[in-house]
Amino acid sequence: MRKKTLVAVLMTAAMACTLLAGCSTPTQETASTDTKTEESSDNSPSETTRESATIVDADKLPVKGIGAQITSDVKGNEEYKIGYIAKNTTNPYMVAQAEGVKKAGADMGFTAVTQAPSTADSVEEQVKIMEDMIQQEMDVIIVHCADSNGIMPGVRKAEEAGIIVITIGTPASEDTFLRTGVDYRETGVTVATKMAEALGGKGNIIILEGPPGAANAIERLEGIKEAFAEYPDIKIAASQTANFKRTEGMSVTENLLQKYTDVQGIIGMNDESALGGVQALKAAGRTDVLVAGFDGSTDATSAVESGDMFATYNTDPYGSGYIACAYAVNYLNDGTEPEGKFIPFPTAANDPLIMVETVENYKENIAWWKVIQ
Amino acid sequence: MQKNSFKQTMKRVPPVAYMLVIIIVIFSFMDSHYLSFSNFRNVLIQSTPLMILAFGQTCIVLTQGTDLSLGAQVSFVTVFIVFLAQRGIILEAAMLIAVCCTMLIGAVNGLIVAKGNIPPFIATYGMQNIVNSISLLLTAGSSVYFSSFTYRIVTETTILFIPLMVWVAVAVFVIVWVVLRKTKFGTNIYGLGGNREALALAGISPVKCLIKTYAFAGMIAGIAGIITLCRVESGQPIVANGWEFQAVAATLLGGTSLREGKGGVTGTIFGVLLIQIIKNGLNVVGVQSIYQNAIIGSIVLAAIIIDAVVRIRAKE
């Protein structure tokens, strides 16, 4: 009887081996796209396989305005079906993006279906939702990928089924019809340049990094470094991770302020970590340090208003969802291709910086979080 | 075994199977895209990783336990294979090594449960956290990537219009079924859940048997991990978090009992299909994701309650 057990175990092992052998192969021509980064060893998107950003002037975009004010003249010729897949249902950013797609559906006259994985940030579930949307015969699938590589099986299936795929924020590892949302690098350049100017091109900066490996935070940091390279008297005194979290932003800043007293600026890779920096500065009784973050969130807006924060960047998930639909509908109507494979929105051309001069207007008219309140 | 009259055969069909039919009919009326071969294949593909995992969980549930580390093991396998492959080990060899690792993890689970006489819930919960941490440590928290055509061989090669990965699930089913029904080891698994004293009296060590069962489940989780890796083409440290509970739910839905050492893998198929068919149906019909969990939860509860009522009636 023991032998039988052994046999069973061996059988299972043997079966695992059949996976390896592979009896017949799927179409080999598609294989070539897959093998080109054979030894690629990390998850950070490799720029070589994707087109770089095409900046389109604000007046040439298919939309007008930004944030809650966004509008468009685009109208669907037919009743199209557009599906949107968020990363989760808990982050206000994602909720606002879904709202942007829904608003576009109402304005441009298409059926908008918005979905998100029930397990937050599960790319495996995103692929499932994509497969189900293919069954629904969507015309377009817009996805905020939870993972660049993990989403690819879904992207391939959708494209094989003749469905246009648009990514927002995190791109798929290969170019799709279009990528929009902010260019993270550009957001870093814009914010850092503004800070360097405000500091008169001189000062020591603390950076609160994002989670290790998070591509958006890495690209943002590259942008910041690139901007500071123009100012030889600006030094990055310390750069440590705060994992996008307020509590960690606070504790990291507290610790760093012990060591570096001569600090003029703090940049958090998102608003939450920047706000943690603000709290730490308050606790230390420092009012002479400029703090900047990204996203233009509710709390960051208040902090800019009260003078606690120097600047934040309106990454406008609502408008990103909206503009993605505008490009999609334009294409479905008459085959108008976007100007490039990656058209960032918003960019510096859309005045995305929220500072003391612009915060009032932002809060009253533009803020993307207004749409989900 | 008794002679099978039609009525008896019907009795052996788990109530969840009827539920399944009702739900398919409802969805078919709600959306014209629902009832098609391509969507049927779609559901099979989507069910496969959980299906395989649930076969392993069924074995554990039969011993009156639950292995909460199974989901973490799946995530670990996806990450560990990529981790090894990035360091120059052939992907296929890395797969085998990873499966051996999960067998080992399972054996340790079994050892703790059996030797320490610790409730499986707690022991495997501890293991779940450890394995989770290892996956996150290996990847520094993000996902890891290794390009290979093998993934697509598994997910895209079709035999009789069904992808190879689904056939892997079929093979695992056959093996688990044979092990449970036709081998001494299988009989002992049922014994562990039904009557441990009798097992001991028969001169069989429950300790050894538990270790083997958990290792067996670990190996199956390893296979589920390989399939998951092929599905998402990258190592995802938290991809299967929570699957262990879905696997327990599917097992119980399928009529395997946590108390009596009764049931088997056949019912588990229906349990997994029920969960996946509801999810797929809700997506295809276009129900917003925030309502989906509530609907799935309600249907699972309803199925369990109906099952319980049917059993109580049957006893009376």
Query: Which stretches in chain A have pLDDT values below 70?
Result: 1-48
Q: Would you state the pLDDT for residue B314?
A: 74
CA-based nearest residue in chain B for residue A28: B149
Counting DSSP H helices and E strands in chain A, the numbers are 12, 13
User: CA nearest A322: which of A80, A103, A26?
Assistant: A103
Counting DSSP H helices and E strands in chain B, the numbers are 14, 2
B241/A35 touch (CB, cutoff 8 Å), yes or no: no
Say how far apart CA A244 and CA A194 lie, in whole Å: 22
CA-based nearest residue in chain A for residue B144: A43
CA distances from A78 to A22, A332, A338, B311 (A): 45, 9, 20, 54
Q: Decide if pLDDT at B174 tops 90.
A: yes
Q: Would you state the pLDDT for residue A281?
A: 95
Name the average pLDDT for chain B.
88
Residue B52 with chain A: CB contacts under 8 Å: none
User: CA nearest B80: which of B152, B126, B134, B133?
Assistant: B134
Distance from CA of A25 to the nearest CA of B (A): 6
Chain A interface mutation, best of B236, B244, B295, B299, highest count of A Cβ atoms under 10 Å: B236
Provide the edge-to-edge strand list for the sheet that holds A265-268: A234-241, A203-209, A265-268, A290-294, A311-313, A353-354
Q: Would you state the pLDDT for residue B262?
A: 81
Q: Would you state the pLDDT for residue B3?
A: 53
B46/A34 touch (CB, cutoff 8 Å), yes or no: no
B219/A34 touch (CB, cutoff 8 Å), yes or no: no
pLDDT band at B11 (very low <50, low <70, confident <90, very high): low
Name the average pLDDT for chain A.
86
Q: Would you state the pLDDT for residue A164?
A: 95
pLDDT band at B255 (very low <50, low <70, confident <90, very high): confident
Nearest CB to B140; choose among A89, A113, A213: A213
Q: Would you state the pLDDT for residue B82?
A: 95
Nearest CB to A43; choose among B142, B150, B154: B142
| Secondary structure in 3-state letters for B261-313 | CCCCHHHHHHHHHHHHHHHHHHHHHCCCHHHHHHHHHHHHHHHHHHHHHHHHH
Domains of chain B by start residue, with CATH: 47-315 (1.10.3470)
Residue A24 with chain B: CB contacts under 8 Å: 157
Q: Decide if pLDDT at B78 tops 70.
A: yes
For the stretch B100-152, pLDDT in tens is: 999 999 999 999 999 888 899 999 999 999 999 999 899 877 788 888 888 98
For the stretch B13-31, pLDDT in tens is: 777 788 889 889 998 888 8
Say how far apart CA B260 and CA B262 lie, in whole Å: 5
- Give the residue-averaged pLDDT of B228-246: 91
Residue B135 structure tokens: 């996956």
Q: Would you state the pLDDT for residue A11?
A: 53
Nearest CB to A150; choose among B150, B153, B233: B233
Q: Would you state the pLDDT for residue A37?
A: 33
Instruction: Scan for tokens 């206000």, then name that residue.
Output: A92
CA-based nearest residue in chain A for residue B82: A41
pLDDT band at B77 (very low <50, low <70, confident <90, very high): very high
Which of residues 19 through 58 in chain A touch B, CB cutoff 8 A?
19-20, 22-26, 30-31, 34-38, 40-43
DSSP string, A95-144: HHHHHHHHHHHHHHT-EEEEE--SSTT-HHHHHHHHHHHHHTT-SEEEE-
Tell me whether the omega of the peptide bond preceding residue A346 falls within 30 degrees of 0, making it cis: yes
Chain B interface mutation, best of A6, A11, A20, highest count of B Cβ atoms under 10 Å: A20
User: CA nearest A190: which of A351, A367, A47?
Assistant: A351
Please tell me the pTM assigned to this model: 0.82
User: CA nearest B31: which of B23, B21, B41?
Assistant: B23
Residue B240 with chain A: CB contacts under 8 Å: 124
3-state SS assignment for residue A161: coil
A214/B142 touch (CB, cutoff 8 Å), yes or no: yes
Residue B92 with chain A: CB contacts under 8 Å: 17, 19-20
Q: Would you state the pLDDT for residue A5?
A: 54
Amino acid at A86: A
Q: Would you state the pLDDT for residue A20?
A: 40
